[in-house]
Amino acid sequence: MISISCEMGENMKQVCERIKNNLLSASCVELNSIMTDSLAELGQCLNAAQINVHLIRYEGHQYRWMRTEGKKEFPIFNLIDISVFEDPYIINGEMTEEFKEVDITQLVFALRSEGQLIGLAGFYWTATNRVSKEVFDQLDQMCRIFSLVLARKIKEDRALSDIHQMEKIFMQTVEAFSAIVEISDPYTTGHQSRTGELARAIAKKMNLGYDAEHSVYLASLLHDLGKFYIPAQILNKPSRLTEIEYSLIKTHPSLGHQILCKIDFPWPIADIVLQHHEKVNGSGYPYGLSGDDIMIEAKILCVADVIESISSNRPYRPALGLDSALFEIKEKQGTLYDFDVVEAALELFTKDKYQF
C-alpha cells in the first residue's frame, strides 16, 4: 500500500500552487501543453498511474488531457453515470459528499461551473493507498482550478466557433457576389476564382504577408462585379467592340467600387477592384493612375487577370494559351505591368510549375 499523507503535504502544496499559476496565466494556444505538463508533474508527485481531466461532451466537442504511466489506459470514467452524478466525489466507484481516509485506488472529482457539471477529474493508482485529508483538500482546490480552465475552454471554443461561422458566411457572401457576374457572362465562369488563386500565389511569392494575400484574393473574386450592369449582348459579343461599347466595358471597375465601398471590409477590397485596370505607365483606366499611386494588390490583380484572360476562351476568340500570356506580361514588364509582380508571376510558372 502507498501512503500519500501529510509528509508530502508541503511538496504537494508547492506543486499545486505552481500548476495553478501556470494554468490561470496560460493563453488559449498554450493551454493544452501546459495542462499536459501539469498533469505529469502532479502524477509524479502523487505516484498516480493515471490522471484524466475530461470535458463532458459539449456541442460535439470533447477535450481530454491525460497523464498515463506506461502505455495502458485505465478506465477511470467508464462506469460513471453522468446523469446521476450529484455528489462532489467518487471514491473507489462510490459517490460521496465527504472525504474519508480510506484505502483508495480510484478518486474522481466533479468539475462544475455555475452549478453545472462540465467535466471530471480522475486519479488512478495501481496499488491501494491512503490519501491524507490535507492532500485531498489540495487536490480539491486543484480541481477547482481545472473547473475554471474547462469553463474558459468552453467559452473560448464557443467564441472560436462563432468566428468560424462568421468567416464561413462572409466567404459564402463573397462567392455569391462573384457568381452574379457569371450569370450574365458565362464566358467568365471560373475566371474570377482562377484569377484569385493566381493573385494570391503571386502575393505569397512576393512575401507580402497574409493581409495582402487575402485581400487580393477576395478582390479577385469580386473584381468583375461591375460587369453585372453591362448588357449581356456587349459582354458576349463575338466580334470586336465599338468604341462606345468598349467605353461602357471600362466603367466596370467604378461600378464594382460603388457597390463594394458600401461594405466595411477589413481590407481595401473596393479600392483594389477600382484600380485593377490601371497600368504603371498611366495608360490604364478609370483614372490613369501610374507608378506608386497604384496599390500593389491592384498591380498583382492586373497581372493575374491578364494571364488568366489570355489563357482562356473569350467570346471574340479562342484561348491563346499560357505561353502567349507570359509573353504579354514579359514584353510589357515595367511599362504596363509592375516589374516585380511580373518577375514573381514568371517565376511561379517557369520555376514553380504553377497551374490553374
CA angle 219, 225, 226 (to 5 degrees): 120
CA angle 250, 236, 332 (to 5 degrees): 50
* Coil vs helix vs strand at 24: helix
Is residue 351 annotated as a catalytic residue, yes or no? Answer: no
- Residue 132 · residue 170 · CB < 8 Å: no
- Residue 266 · residue 244 · CB < 8 Å: no
Indicate which residue of 153, 205, 227, 279 is catalytic: 227
Torsions phi, psi for 48 (to 5 deg): -85, 140
Q: Please state, in angstroms and as integers, the Cα–Cα distance from residue 159 to each residue in 14, 168, 172, following that order.
A: 34, 14, 20
> What would the 3-class secondary structure string for 219-252 be?
HHHHCCHHHHHCCHHHHCCCCCCCHHHHHHHCCH
Rounded distance, CA 40 to CA 9, Å?
Answer: 18
**Cell reading at 32:** 493544452
**Alpha-carbon torsion 233, 236, 241, 244, what sign?**
positive
Residues written for the chain: 356
Comparing CA positions, the residue from 42, 4, 7 lying closest to residue 22 is 42
Q: Which one-letter DSSP state was computed for residue 8?
A: G
CA 185 to chain centre: 33
Rounded distance, CA 347 to CA 11, Å?
Answer: 61
Write out the DSSP string of 135-160: HHHHHHHHHHHHHHHHHHHHHHHHHH
Rounded distance, CA 9 to CA 202, Å?
Answer: 61
* Coil vs helix vs strand at 188: helix
Active site (catalytic) residues:
227
